[in-house]
């Protein structure tokens, strides 16, 4: 699964890299984005790429309560096209989730040790995602809410040393088709949801257990610790 990630890159660089316009997205550098928090998402609106802030944890349009979204932070790439919570979004509401790193944990006895996966140059990459709109009440406010999920796939040999799942990371060549709400070739879409080749490697750092609490969101979360 993918349960936490980072987006430390400045807004203008993200907009340039994803060739997107800013809609509702504003942020400070984020070191520990957690489920039910808001984060930037790239989607197509009025035939243009837009960067928009959404709530992490997809709430299906038919859900009776927003709490269902906390269980929908990830969607398995192997079954995403068929699962009732995701199949409508897979057809028409696909998105990119900009990130420049993500965390996974390995349990050692009672301790959960976090590891940070990032590119050697710390540049952003695009995790495959889906978004949905749901109308209801969250924290006393009732209006249409947009939310998203991150699609996962099997790990490659490198990342599998820590966890058996990883985010499905899309190559730039696939972005246009993935975002196109009119593109409906299900087999071709699912072929995009594969592990990175081992030569497209991440650096994997053992980092501070501060990241274990979603209350902590500072550079100390990615501080490398000795193994």
The catalytic residue positions are: 2, 104
Give the number of C-alpha atoms closer than 13 A to the C-alpha of residue 94, restricted to the C-beta side. Answer: 30
Task: Enumerate residues 6+ apart whose C-beta is below 8 A from 118.
Answer: 6, 100, 101, 102, 202, 203, 205, 222
DSSP state letter for 18 = T
Task: Enumerate residues 6+ apart whose C-beta is below 8 A from 108.
Answer: none
Of 57, 59, 56, 52, residue with least CA distance to 27: 52
Per the CB < 8 A criterion, the answer to whether 216 and 210 are in contact is yes
Q: How far is residue 1's CA from residue 154's CA, in Å, rounded to a whole number?
A: 9
């Amino acid at each position: 699964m993918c349960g936490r990630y980072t987006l430390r890159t400045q807004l203008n660089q993200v907009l340039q890299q994803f060739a997107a316009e800013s809609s509702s997205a504003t942020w400070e550098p984020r070191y520990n984005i957690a489920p039910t928090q808001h984060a930037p998402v790239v989607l197509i609106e009025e035939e243009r790429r837009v960067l928009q802030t959404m709530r992490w944890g997809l709430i299906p349009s038919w859900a009776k309560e927003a709490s269902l979204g906390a269980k929908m932070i990830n969607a398995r790439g192997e079954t995403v096209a068929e699962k009732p919570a995701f199949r409508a979004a897979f057809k028409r509401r696909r998105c990119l989730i900009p990130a420049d790193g993500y965390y996974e944990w390995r349990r050692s006895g009672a301790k959960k040790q976090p590891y940070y996966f990032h590119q050697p140059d710390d540049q952003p990459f695009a995790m495959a995602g889906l978004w949905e709109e749901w109308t209801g009440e969250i924290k006393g406010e009732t209006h249409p809410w947009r939310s998203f999920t991150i699609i996962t796939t099997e790990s490659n040999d490198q990342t599998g040393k820590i966890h058996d799942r990883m985010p499905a990371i899309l190559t730039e060549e696939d972005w246009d088709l993935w975002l196109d709400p009119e593109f409906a070739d299900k087999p071709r879409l699912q072929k995009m949801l594969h592990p990175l080749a081992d030569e497209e490697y991440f650096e994997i750092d053992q980092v501070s257990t501060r990241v274990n609490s979603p209350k902590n969101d500072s550079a100390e979360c990615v501080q490398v610790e000795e193994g």
